Structure 1
Amino acid sequence: MTVKYLAASVALCVSLSACAAPNKESADTSTLSVPALQQGNPAFWLELDAQSNLSVSDGDVFARAVQVVDVAQVNNGFLVAAIEGVESTPVLYRLNAKGKQAERLASLQAPEFLVEGLCLASEADGSVSLFMLDERGSAEQWVVYSEQQTLKPAKLRTLPIAPNATACAADGKGGLFIAEEEMGLWRYSSNAEKPVSRQVVDLVAPYGNLGEGSEAVAYLGGNVISVTVDSGLVQMYQPGEDNTWARVELGTWKGVEEPEQLQAWYQAESETLHLQVRDDASGDYARNRFTVAAAEFDFSRALESEVKTVKPRIQTEPVARFGDAADDPAIWVHPTSPEQSLIYGTDKKYGLGVYRLDGSQSQMLPTGRLNNVDIRYGFDFGDGVDDIAVATQRDDNSLSIYRVDAENGAATHLAELPTGLEEIYGFCMYQDGAKTYAIANGKSGTFEQYLLSANAGKVTARLARTFAVETQPEGCVADDATGRLFVGEEAVGVYTLSAKPDSDEPLSLIAATDDVLVADVEGMALYPAVDSRYLIVSSQGDDSYVVFESSAPYKRVGKFRVGANYGAGVDAISETDGLEVTHRSLGKGYERGAFIAQDGHNIMPERPQNFKLVSWSDIAQELELND
């Protein structure tokens, strides 16, 4: 949309009396009618009377002493959120599609602040979030509804926002718009898995076009709508390029001193935009309408994504410290009792954690700033055969060596072996018969491959070869069965070459970053199958994972995300660094193996980062993969 085009399509209303739509508030301003919108048109109305009792038009009261209210369309009905009573309790109701029946779903814990504004935000996964604004500079976000599963409302996070925030509205596409009194209008992300950031939509004068500010904001059909507090200027915004917003003035709303609680709906047949506000100065409600071309509103539902969604079944305990700490997991499979298998995970601020399959921690080894970890079975330590784990140690650019008891998976730290790398980073292991290799890389792009050997329990490493990519790498994985090595260059893509150190085969790019494999390329793992081995790669830029066949021509076979399992109280995975997969059974629910990944934003509630486990059966079913 260009401003010039939109302005040409708008017939401006210059006074409320000239443009007011007929409604009962003209005669009785003690009743507020809130539209329950369906594709931009009211499906029915909610009425809030002089005693603040909420009811469906011509129906029974279902909520009393209501302070603020919002409505969102959900599957086969509408979700209503309200703040009720002297204790300011957030309460949720579900209304059927015709608004004739109201069902009380849940009460939430009352926040420890006066709720200044409230709004519901529909998310891409079919869930709905409730935002409650604290004018002191924060907002609570709760997940309150899901189309896929029954859930108990849960607090996702406390979102730092601008102080003196008075109103909010969501676009259903990840955008949350918040009006900051006397400052401006901002766009935040409504996705709790995203980092906190904000983008300016408009500012007060002299920096923008909001005059003295706005306390009234609504979102409708691709448009953000606001009304200024000083002049009643009505403006509409649509996103442009480079985080800019195209703006058009619809007109001035006369006779309203302090507009707030903006509601908007659109009648396509008459090309009429209807607005309703509460005048905080008088307590009365008023309506206005503007002629706007139907082409300026988009009520179409988003196309179904080609990215499938699976849900985690369990999560590990969080690491000890907040910040970018957890990084890369590995899976140790018990030789006789798969349900006793263990998860190894690095903590870049502390050491190596070991977790049971219920997520509880069984060991924490304080061995320093470990980045990536991998495991191999049947390593000859010279005084017996056990399993071996190796991690990259960022404190001194070494390989951190661990002996893993082959019977119970318990880890013992043995040594730190020096490397020639600066800023050591990613890591994987490769076994070629009786030979075990450690392959590490540094942020400069250099890879070093070491042959590991041991005598009387003491492990040593001999450099077998070096190679390099041009920019920063991290993830890599070796296919022991085929002798292939896959390495990632974060901003470029995935390469393959022979894992054998005496090979002179050059690097070959098999998957470049694009709009499917979105940089950064981070963790990667291999899953054996009957007809192919699958290569799973973290597409960190869009919080997903791309699955390729691991033999030429390296066909891309699918893409998935790990969404929230609200019923189990496990949030989604986002900003994954490291991941691992096994085809071996981990017991009931994981008979065909499991996928595990680091979660960069651990919420519900907010805690330090951790690792989350997904049944491979769920991934295979969604992507129609062979066993």
Structure 2
Amino acid sequence: MKALLTLTLLAQGALASQLPYQGSELDISQQGLSWQGKTLVKGAVDPVNLSQDGALLMAVDKADQQLRLWQGAKEVFSAPVTDRVVEAVCSYQSPRDGSLHLFILDDRGSGEEWLVKTSHWLKAPKRLRTLNIPYKSTACATDSASESLFISEDDQALWRYSAELEAEPKRQLLDAAAPFGALSGETKALAVRPDGLLVRLGTHSLDLYPNATRPKAPEQGTQRLTLSKPGAELLAVNGDSANLGGTVQALPKLAVSHYQAPVIAEVQAISQTLPADRIGDAMDDPAIWVNHQHPEQSRVLGTDKRGALEVYDLNGKRLQRLAVGRVNNVDVRQGFRLGGKTVDIATASHRDHNAISVFAIAPDSGDVSLLGEVPTPLKDIYGLCMYQPQGQLQVFVNDKNGRVLQYRLDDNQGAIKGTLVRDFRVNTQPEGCVADDKRGRFFLGEEDVGIWAFNADDTQAPAGTLIAKVGPMLHADVEGLALWQGQRPILVASSQGNDSYVAYSALPPYQLLGRFRIGLNSEAGIDGTSETDGIDITSLALGKAYPQGLLAVQDGRKRLPEQGQNFKLVPFDAVLKLLQQ
């Protein structure tokens, strides 16, 4: 019989009696799987596991490779595993949206993440991503509070991964075989107690890791306590006792330092643009152009920093690709007189030429065409945003060294002329910026520092005020900035370091309003967003789908399915509701 480490039996005291599955009632053999005398599967099952809360039983029927899930004696979900031999399976309930996921691992260095439940059980799993895992992975367990996935690498190592779909795909070594650690024997099973204690059943020992569910290992290294287990194949831990080969001994009282990941409320995208044609860092910054005659026919411009400006409709269809070179940030203003005609203007920071690329947008159709360039003295041009004071059109651009230039754009007999009107700097690298045309303010993100507010008037001294610092709410890098120009204007920043967005009042004293993430929209098949660079917002209604405006954001890791980066489109009324504005 293969060892089964049941989380229900790792529960402490009264909690253990409240959970549906008790170890003495689970019968696992070559003849089948039974619970409380009821046969759940006839024939061999392998692997078998329980959810962290002990309420869900998982097993793979070896006869037909069907993965089955039960709550009590009721089978609630089943699906065939067709493309791998399952070595380990574990469930994960996301604290972000409550959805239930399965991690399905083989022993050949690969695994899958399935979505199986949202507000209801799905008829068939949604395969979210492929996992690159250690060769000969033998067991797994999850911890919802710390958003952790633990995977054992045979008798060699024990790893912690980020379990969240949109989290950075990194791993942390918890323990290893000699000479790098004290791990001994093959890992037979893993489980995480509700208090965050990670328990590993090895060939010869029971190992306890009290601080494994912290996001970072303690300075002294991962603590580990071993209870010897000579030759036992079945482990049962009931309350605070461990049955090791027939000998019951009390588990030691451990000071468990458990980590609770902050829960950040989520909104969902209802549309997304066509992804980049290659995996990797490509798409960067969106800008929204509003069709005032037919708002539902508005456009989203987006930079592909490998070499083009792209134009999409609100369904995400690519309408144009202008292969103009490596443009990084883009912005739009409307109603500019050029050559005796009124046109709309987009500008972009051109990294190949260290220049400002200028585009005309046809007011009736939204078609985009290149007008020309404004050269700059910058050595490594980076961020850009536009400003439209009364009777003028201006552009702010910045350099990675902290320098910020402000240009005025003028009509030069049907061509664009740029005139430098102000030159100032911040101490370290900036990028994202946005200008408030109505109130004459300029907001600039200094990536590792925070958000600055300046007077946008080029005749005034550029004395900035740091209105939001990098810290517990706003995580570096500070990337995209955008304004919602409603009755009470809102400044939104991309908090790239924790895949979230932070909202502030755009009026002094720039009060913090809250933060949010963009999560999985499983019904529409649209993943959430992570590692966001640029963002843009309009407060104007763009048809029935966007009654209070649109938030467009770059998605740094497209997950469903795994493809090149793209832009996600979110109704801003969902953000307002979340912020209670």
CA contact (8 A) 1:193 1:573 kept: yes
Shift of 1:237: 4.2
Whichever residue aligns with residue 181 of structure 1, its letter is D
Whichever residue aligns with residue 132 of structure 2, its letter is P
Shift of 1:264: 6.3
Question: 2:454 & 2:445 partners in 1: Cα distance?
Answer: 12
Matches within 5 A, 1:364-375: 364-375=321-332
Aligned to 1:562: 518
CA contact (8 A) 1:378 1:385 kept: yes
Pairing 1:105–2:77 present = yes
Aligned to 1:589: 545
Aligned to 2:47: 68
Aligned to 1:133: 105
TM-score calculated relative to the size of structure 2: 0.91
Aligned to 2:295: 338
Work out which of the residue numbers 182, 191, 195 in structure 1 matches 2:168: 195
Question: 2:278 & 2:351 partners in 1: Cα distance?
Answer: 17
Whichever residue aligns with residue 254 of structure 1, its letter is P
CA contact (8 A) 2:7 2:52 kept: no
Shift of 1:44: 2.3
Aligned to 1:238: 211
The superposition leaves residues 576-616 of structure 1 with CA deviations (integer Å, 9 ceiling, x where unpaired) of 11111111011112111111111111002111111111111
Question: 1:380 & 1:417 partners in 2: Cα distance?
Answer: 18
Matches within 5 A, 1:320-331: 320-331=277-288
CA contact (8 A) 1:204 1:213 kept: no
Shift of 1:145: 2.0
Aligned to 2:474: 517
What SS does structure 2 have at the residue aligned with 1:488? Answer: strand
Pairing 1:156–2:113 present = no
What SS does structure 1 have at the residue aligned with 2:578? Answer: helix
CA contact (8 A) 1:417 1:460 kept: yes
Work out which of the residue numbers 230, 244, 250 in structure 2 matches 1:291: 250
Aligned to 1:466: 423
Work out which of the residue numbers 334, 359, 382 in structure 2 matches 1:425: 382
Question: 1:38 & 1:541 partners in 2: Cα distance?
Answer: 34
Shift of 1:38: 9.4
Question: 1:32 & 1:233 partners in 2: Cα distance?
Answer: 13
Shift of 1:58: 2.8
TM-score calculated relative to the size of structure 1: 0.84
Whichever residue aligns with residue 241 of structure 2, its letter is T
Aligned to 1:23: none
Question: 1:293 & 1:328 partners in 2: Cα distance?
Answer: 54
Structure 1 residues 82 and 454: CA distance shift in structure 2, 3 A: farther
Work out which of the residue numbers 210, 217, 241 in structure 2 matches 1:272: 241
Pairing 1:56–2:35 present = yes
Identity value in percent: 37
CA contact (8 A) 1:199 1:243 kept: no
Aligned to 1:226: 200
Question: 1:533 & 1:31 partners in 2: Cα distance?
Answer: 59
Question: 2:211 & 2:542 partners in 1: Cα distance?
Answer: 50
Greater shift, 369-378 or 234-243, is seen at 234-243
Matches within 5 A, 1:436-475: 436-475=393-432
Shift of 1:224: 1.7
Question: 2:123 & 2:247 partners in 1: Cα distance?
Answer: 39
The superposition leaves residues 357-380 of structure 1 with CA deviations (integer Å, 9 ceiling, x where unpaired) of 111211111122111110000111
What SS does structure 1 have at the residue aligned with 2:388? Answer: strand
Whichever residue aligns with residue 135 of structure 1, its letter is D
Shift of 1:561: 1.1
Work out which of the residue numbers 552, 560, 584 in structure 1 matches 2:508: 552
The superposition leaves residues 338-370 of structure 1 with CA deviations (integer Å, 9 ceiling, x where unpaired) of 111111111111311111111121111112211
RMSD (Å), alpha carbons: 2.7
CA contact (8 A) 2:328 2:348 kept: yes
Question: 1:154 & 1:314 partners in 2: Cα distance?
Answer: 18
Shift of 1:159: 1.6
Whichever residue aligns with residue 550 of structure 2, its letter is A
Q: Note the residue ranges of structure 2 that are not aligned, 5 or more in a row.
A: none
Aligned to 1:402: 359
Question: 2:546 & 2:501 partners in 1: Cα distance?
Answer: 19
Whichever residue aligns with residue 614 of structure 1, its letter is V
